[in-house]
Amino acid sequence: MRSEAPRLAGAMLWPALVLAASIAAWTPSVAADDPVARYSVSGDAIPAPLTGEAGDAARGRSIVLGRDVANCLACHQLPEPAERFQGNLGPSLAGVGARLSVGQIRLRLVDASFVNPRTIMPPYHRVAGLNKVAPTLAGRPILTAAEIEDVVAYLATLK
């Protein structure tokens, strides 16, 4: 009788490999003149926009659905039926705008580990204290402050 352990180990390894490949493919999009925004956390939220102004939901949708920078669909499902191959490692983002405030969404994008230290979601704007970052990417966030605000604006529309 053969053991089921090798098959189970392979099945459990697949989501980790997909996530690792997605992280390796991310290219930070920070401009040379766009410093990492300073922000203040209040409770479980960052109440103020990182840029001082609200983002653009249409640009945010493009970032969220894009597979080249943020790659949100690798882990999350969205109410976007035309998008194939949506992930299920993270929570569904359908209705996230009704469940979380704009400030709560912002904090989870900037650094989800502030809310959940065991999260596998990468910090999209924090650059300090990270491990195993390629030297060419060190000190550069995955998303700029403006891109964070655009994504926040889009996710807030998902009610």
Residue 137, pLDDT score: 79
Better-scored residue on pLDDT, 28 or 66:
66
Share of the chain above pLDDT 90, in %: 65
| Number of folded domains that form the chain | 1
What number of other Cβ atoms are within 10 A of residue 10's Cβ? 10
Structural domain of residue 82, as residue ranges?
A: 5-29+36-156
3-state secondary structure of 66: coil
Q: For residue range 26-52, what is the model confidence (pLDDT) as tens digits?
A: 333 333 444 467 888 999 999 999 999
Place of tokens 């653009």: 56
Task: Give me the mean pLDDT over the 91-101 stretch.
Answer: 97
Share of the chain above pLDDT 70, in %: 77
Cα–Cα distance, 75 to 89 (Å, whole number)? 5
3-state secondary structure of 130: coil
Cα–Cα distance, 114 to 158 (Å, whole number)? 23
φ and ψ at 45, to 5 degrees?
A: -150, 160
3-state secondary structure of 45: strand
Mean pLDDT, the chain, rounded, equals 83
Task: Give the CATH number, domain containing residue 10.
Answer: 1.10.760.10
Q: For residue range 136-148, what is the model confidence (pLDDT) as tens digits?
A: 778 889 999 999 9
Q: Which amino acid is at 147?
A: E
Q: Which amino acid is at 91?
A: P
Contact yes or no for 68/147 (Cβ under 8 A):
no
Task: Give me the mean pLDDT over the 76-88 stretch.
Answer: 94
Supply angle C-alpha 119, 122, 128, rounded to 5: 105
Task: Give me the mean pLDDT over the 13-30 stretch.
Answer: 41
Contact yes or no for 66/151 (Cβ under 8 A):
no
Whether the model pTM is above 0.85? no
Cα–Cα distance, 131 to 151 (Å, whole number)? 25
pLDDT(73) > 60: yes
